[in-house]
Chains A and B, each alone.
Chain A
Amino acid sequence: MDFTEDLLADRIGGSWFRLGARTDGATPDARRMKDEMLRESLLLPPGAFATAFSKLDSVGNVLHNLGKPDGSLRQYGRQEDYLYEPFHRFEIPFTDVVGEPLVFLHEQVSNIGLFINPDLWMYLGLEEKGKEFMQRLRILHDKLRFVSWFFGLTTAPFVGIKRKIEAGDHPYKSSAMPSDSSDPPFAVEWLDADQVIR
């Protein structure tokens, strides 16, 4: 696996970087494989990258708790200290490097999504837009799916009438009686059904 493209990613436009990304609902390909992406970000003190990077090991082992508040109990002889680690403080294990998660995975009972550190949100004065845009795209997709379903369902009886007339099936069996009209049998019914379909 090659992560070069992710690790050395360019800006996505102007002064914008993609600090977080997550695949939502990837569909498996022919080999039943899913292409999924998860990107989170952590702000490190200047000069601390090399130390932090050397302890990352397998990235998921160290960073899987990013942005999750934690607590630990430490004993000094008979004294016990309870240490609370808030979500905005992330200590790289076995180092003295402490970073601040910027964008990270946030799991709730009903959904999982990316969470943006409120400090970043407030500092840059950000206003969310993407959710509305993605919702509109999803609504458009749903409406088009509905239109296709509705069209197929509502025109089916009339497609059936035309087919039966053309095949001479019941109840459109032509009479053996001679007719004065030069039109084919059930021409009016066929034209009516055709009009509805169109």
Chain B
Amino acid sequence: MDETVKLSSSQAPNKKNNWFENYKRWFLGVGVEWTASGADLLLIEEMTVARNRIQHGSRGDSHGLIKTQDEDYRSRFPKALFQSDLEARMFRNFGPKLRSIELTKERLNRAIVEIMLFANFIEEHLPVEMKYWRG
């Protein structure tokens, strides 16, 4: 995303304070409306949050293999794709509200499909002066 932004002479979007929304607005400014991509934007945003929690989040088990959501993740994505199904069923009405982050083959494949849909859309709709040649 950053490399694509560099192709334009416009000022890069702010990475702080909801960077996803800032990038979305920046792309709209160069004529690329993410909502028209058909990709699941909520899922793409969740991927970035899940990635941050996996990279920097607290451990959810003794082996340090499982990472959990934080309050922000939970409140922004109440129907998160990468949450433990088992915990969601077990703790629907009681128990801990923060779920373990869980990746399965099916979820990974769905995420990959959405990313490629999103990336291809951006590639197709970038303005020509950003994509090919600049005079």
Q: Which residues of A contact B (CB under 8 A)?
A: 12-14, 16, 124-130, 132-134, 136-137, 140-141, 144, 147-148, 151-152, 155, 192, 195-198
Cβ contacts under 8 Å, A137 to chain B? 119-120, 123
Of all A-B residue pairs in the complex, the 3 with the closest CB atoms, nearest first, are A130-B132, A126-B133, A16-B128
Residues of A contacting B65 with CB < 8 Å?
A: 195-196, 198
The count of A-to-B residue pairs whose CB atoms sit within 8 angstroms is 73
Q: In whole Å, how far is B54's beta carbon from the nearest beta carbon of chain A?
A: 11
Q: Which residues of B contact A (CB under 8 A)?
A: 3-4, 7, 61, 63, 65-66, 84, 100-105, 108-109, 112, 115-116, 119-120, 123, 126-135
A13 to B128, CA, bound (A): 7
B131 in contact with A133 (CB, 8 Å): yes
Nearest B residue to A133, CB-CB: B131
Nearest-Cβ distance from residue A35 to partner chain B, whole angstroms: 16
Instruction: Contacts A140-B119, A144-B115, A155-B105 given; indicate if A126 touches B128 (C-beta within 8 A).
Output: no
Contact A144 B129 (CB under 8 A): no
- Residues of chain A lying within 8 A (CB to CB) of residue B4: 133, 136
Q: Which residues of B contact A192 (CB under 8 A)?
A: 63
Q: List 25 A-B contacts (CB under 8 A).
A: A12-B128, A13-B129, A14-B127, A14-B128, A16-B128, A16-B129, A124-B133, A125-B135, A126-B135, A127-B134, A128-B132, A130-B132, A133-B126, A141-B116, A147-B108, A147-B112, A148-B112, A151-B105, A151-B108, A155-B105, A192-B63, A195-B66, A198-B100, A198-B101, A198-B102
* Nearest CB of A to B107, in Å: 10
- Given contacts A137-B119, A195-B65, A198-B84, A144 and B112 within 8 Å (CB-CB): yes
Chain B contacts of A151 at CB under 8 A? Answer: 103, 105, 108
In the bound assembly, the distance between CA atoms of A198 and B59 in angstroms comes to 13
Q: In the complex, what distance in Å separates the CA atom of A151 from the CA atom of B103? A: 10
Question: Contact between A128 and B133 (Cβ–Cβ < 8 Å)?
Answer: yes
Contact of A124 among B66, B103, B135 (CB under 8 A): B135
Residue of chain B at shortest CB distance from A192: B63
Q: What are the residues of chain A within 8 A of B7 when measuring CB–CB? A: 129, 133
| Apart from A126-B135, A151-B103, 4 more pairs, CB < 8 Å | A13-B128, A14-B127, A134-B123, A152-B105
Instruction: Give the Cβ gap from B42 to chain A, nearest Cβ, in Å.
Output: 19
Tell me the smallest distance from the CB of A45 to a CB of chain B, in Å: 24
- Taken together as a complex, chains A and B put the C-alpha atoms of A144 and B118 apart, in Å, by 13
Which one, A125, A129, A148, contacts B109 given CB within 8 A? A148
Chain A residue at minimal CB-CB distance from B31: A13
Complex contact A129–B130 (CB within 8 A):
yes
- Least distance between A58 CB and chain B CB atoms (Å): 30
> Quick one: closest B residue to A127, CB to CB?
B134
B50 CB, min distance to chain A CBs, angstroms: 12
Please tell me if the beta carbons of A195 and B102 are within 8 angstroms of each other in the complex. Answer: no
CA–CA, A133 and B126, complex, Å: 11
Q: In the complex, what residue of chain A is closest to B100 when comparing beta carbons?
A: A198
